[in-house]
Amino acid sequence: MFDTALSANDLIFLAKGAGMTIFVTLIAVFCGTVLGIVFGIFRYQVGPVIAAPLTFVLDVFRSIPLLIQLVLANAFLGMVLRLGMSGLTVACIVLTLYTSAYCAEIVRGAIESVPQPVRRAARSLGLSWRQDMTNIVLPLAVRVGLPSWIGLSLGVMKDSALVYVVQVTELLKSTQILITRLQEPLLLLMICGAFYFLISFPVARLGGYLEKRWTHD
């Protein structure tokens, strides 16, 4: 007969960790997407030469492992600048910049995928740059960039497991705490995986639904 020391309070503890994972992910994805759109449009509009400094900074965030970024940011903000930020604040800042670096590349590539004849036709009709971007370019670019953005969002959700290094108790950290106390790693990791599945599956299905719907419109 299956026997476990896992209690209802332990499941609640895991659920709170899952809530922290969702919270950090939502902050990072929302703020990172907003910044990524701004950075992506800027890089496309001004060209590679003028955008070179921004491109370099974004490449740094894409190239350095997230774990190292979290450790360095926590040390720099706390020990050097002495800002006294909480681990949660540091985690949200780093994950936001990390997300924006990838999102900017998605946005830039999606905008470049819009055929130039379409843009020239829009401008020949007298549309301003803003009207061209909002009514022509961005709606077409969203269709191209959505699958990559969904993948990025799911990746950020899983990467948020690394915020334990700045003392944020998210889902995986909560699982590790219970493993240390209960000594039931297989069961707890299965439950942790189930939580991650419940979080990510609706997002993946929603992305697939939107992609299919927009493709057939």
Position 5 in a domain: no
pLDDT higher than 90, residue 121: no
Domain tally, the chain: 1
Position 3 in a domain: no
Model pLDDT for residues 61-93, shown as the tens digit of each residue: 999 999 999 999 988 887 766 677 888 999 999
At residue 1 the predicted structure's pLDDT band, cuts being 50, 70 and 90, is very low
Side-chain-facing half-sphere of 72: CA atoms under 13 Å: 9
Position 4 in a domain: no
Q: Which domain holds residue 138?
A: 11-216
The CATH number linked to 164 is 1.10.3720.10
Position 149 in a domain: yes
Distance between CA atoms of 134 and 131, rounded to whole angstroms? 5
Position 113 in a domain: yes
Model pLDDT for residues 204-216, shown as the tens digit of each residue: 888 788 777 765 5
**Mean pLDDT, the chain, whole residue set:** 87
Q: What pLDDT is recorded for position 189?
A: 93
Position 136 in a domain: yes
Distances, alpha carbon 56 to alpha carbons 52, 145, 148, 178, 183, in Å: 6, 22, 21, 41, 46
Position 71 in a domain: yes
Position 55 in a domain: yes
Model pLDDT for residues 23-64, shown as the tens digit of each residue: 999 999 999 999 999 999 999 888 888 889 999 999 999 999
Contacts of 192 (CB under 8 A, 6+ apart): 14, 171, 172, 175
